[in-house]
Structure 1
Amino acid sequence: MLALLISWNLFKNFSSVDTLQRTSLNVSAAISLSKALGEIKTVYQSSNPNFTINYNFGASGALEQQIQQGAPVDVFFSAATNPMDALQQSNLLINDTRRNLLTNRLVLISPKNGVALSDFKQLTDARIKKIAFGEPKSVPVGQYAQEMLTKLGLWQQLQAKLVLGNNVRQVLTFVESGNVDAGIVYATDATASDKVTVLLTAAENLHSPIVYPLAVIKNSRNPAAAKAFVDFLGGDQAKIVFQKYGFGIVR
């Protein structure tokens, strides 16, 4: 009987440890964050070995729709406020966990040794045949770019030249491959590639502020762990990594 009791206690202890080891967080994040968050994951898991971080990277608008449709997400990290606002309006966030964390800039790029431009208005030139562009309905970098080109009076003129990408990394790939003459991406994506040249940086008054908010999703299976990870992302250790990849920090 004693042996049976000891065996049962050992089983419970091993089961408890195994459960801790299998605890995971699902984080849906803008694809422009992939490199920075990849490094942060390594740092975080080294200090929290009982938790596994699973990332789902994509366009923020598409990720928001997945969450609206019930995708099992613990934390959402968006490249724009609109997708987060939509989730908040749908009462899908734990409200006191929402915070604006990062900033970025919008840049015009060309393939390495490609066309040289000194003004966004030169995108209308005949030598510019194709421009890679994020789908404005779901890709925040496309929304910001549309705002900028509209303010410059260029949006309608450039419609026939646009080659739409499903996310900012696809836009970058279009330019890297030389399949387009130019593209509009985030500064952080451009600086991470040695296959493109940054031609121009958009003035910040030409588009909405590029802000990256994050929050815990109300249907999180582990809200305490999700809140702890969000707090870590807002901490000094993570901020150093974000700045290393070119992101600004919201003050």
Structure 2
Amino acid sequence: MYKTFLKFFISLFILFLTACSTNMSKEEANQPKKVEITISAAASLNDALNEIKTHFEKTNQQISLLYNFGGSGALKQQIMQGAPVQIFISASKELFNELSKKDLIDSKNQMDLLSNQLVLITNKRQPIPLKSFDDLQKEGINKVAIGAPASVPAGMYAKQTLQSLGIWEGMHAKLIETKDVRQVLTYVETNSVDAGIVYMTDIKVSDKVKVIAVAPEQTHDPIIYSAGIIKSSAHQKEVSLFYDYLHSPTARDIFKKYGFKVLD
């Protein structure tokens, strides 16, 4: 009698679990699948864009944002090779225009979004005796980190500044080239180098570095961040929603919070 009752109870329990599982599967199947949008963006935008993602996805729950951060030159090459990207935000207008000229970016959906400044930094706790860019030539300054000029806009601007100041040629033995501007920041934070050249916005996310000097604007090309929709993008409606959101009051406030100048 007991065994019969136990078997009946177990069978009933299994049927209950099966029914629950079936109902849950039906509910999951009825849930609309989120549209994923991939944004390739300059590494210096990491913190600002991640905060923007949080706000955007709260009000657009049908969309999931995926970021691919890196040096703008490397991101440009990925897009040219067919990377599945919907929006490109470059820290170099020149690199952005190369894609635009190849008709890879929608001509009706591209804009100059932000601007930035270039700064010389050193470690805050173990500062090097620097007062200006010119001091980088001094003995005792052995390692200076910059983004690789060929692929990292911050490195290109750094090279232009050092050339304008007439000290580029004498700096070759000291330069440590990195894959993106955030790696420069990390090297300075960890005291792996004596100094580094980054964007003003990069220091907003670090309490381990200090600014020595701001590069005069006339020593380098204007630092303009351009954004645009890749012409072959799927889900154009959802992509346009995020593209337009980049100029919303919420996004503008976040960009300003991290030290960017928002362009109208």
Partner AA of 2:54 in structure 1: T
Equivalent position to 1:53, from 59, 65, 68: 65
**1:199-220 deviation line (CA, Å, top 9, x unaligned):** 1011111100101010000111
The answer as to whether partners of 2:35 and 2:238 remain within 8 angstroms in 1 is no
2:107 is matched with 95
RMSD: 1.6
> Counterparts in 2 of 1:76-225, with a 5 A limit?
76-112=88-124, 113-225=126-238
Partner AA of 2:38 in structure 1: N
Q: Give me the TM-score of the superposition, normalised by structure 2.
A: 0.87
Q: Secondary structure at the match of 2:105?
A: coil
Question: In the superposition, relative to structure 1, how do residues 205 and 51 fare at CA in structure 2: closer, same or farther (>3 Å)?
Answer: same
The answer as to whether partners of 1:75 and 1:214 remain within 8 angstroms in 2 is yes
Q: Give me the TM-score of the superposition, normalised by structure 1.
A: 0.92
Superposed displacement of residue 236, structure 1: 1.3
Superposed displacement of residue 109, structure 1: 0.3
Q: Secondary structure at the match of 2:54?
A: helix
- Measured in 1, the distance between the counterparts of 2:253 and 2:129 equals 33
The answer as to whether partners of 1:23 and 1:52 remain within 8 angstroms in 2 is yes
Superposed displacement of residue 14, structure 1: 7.5
1:75 is matched with 87
Partner AA of 1:175 in structure 2: V
In the TM superposition, structure 1's runs of 4+ consecutive aligned residues that sit over 3 Å from their partners are: 11-15
1:238 is matched with 251
Question: What is the number of equivalent residue pairs in this alignment?
Answer: 239
Superposed displacement of residue 111, structure 1: 1.0
- Gaps of at least 5 residues in structure 1 are 1-10
Q: Secondary structure at the match of 2:65?
A: strand
Superposed displacement of residue 22, structure 1: 2.2
1:27 is matched with 39
Q: Secondary structure at the match of 1:96?
A: strand
Partner AA of 2:234 in structure 1: R
Structure of higher CA gyration radius: 2
- Measured in 1, the distance between the counterparts of 2:47 and 2:204 equals 12
1:226 is matched with 239
- Gaps of at least 5 residues in structure 2 are 1-24
Q: Secondary structure at the match of 1:158?
A: helix
- Measured in 1, the distance between the counterparts of 2:181 and 2:132 equals 22
**1:16-38 deviation line (CA, Å, top 9, x unaligned):** x64x4321101111110010000
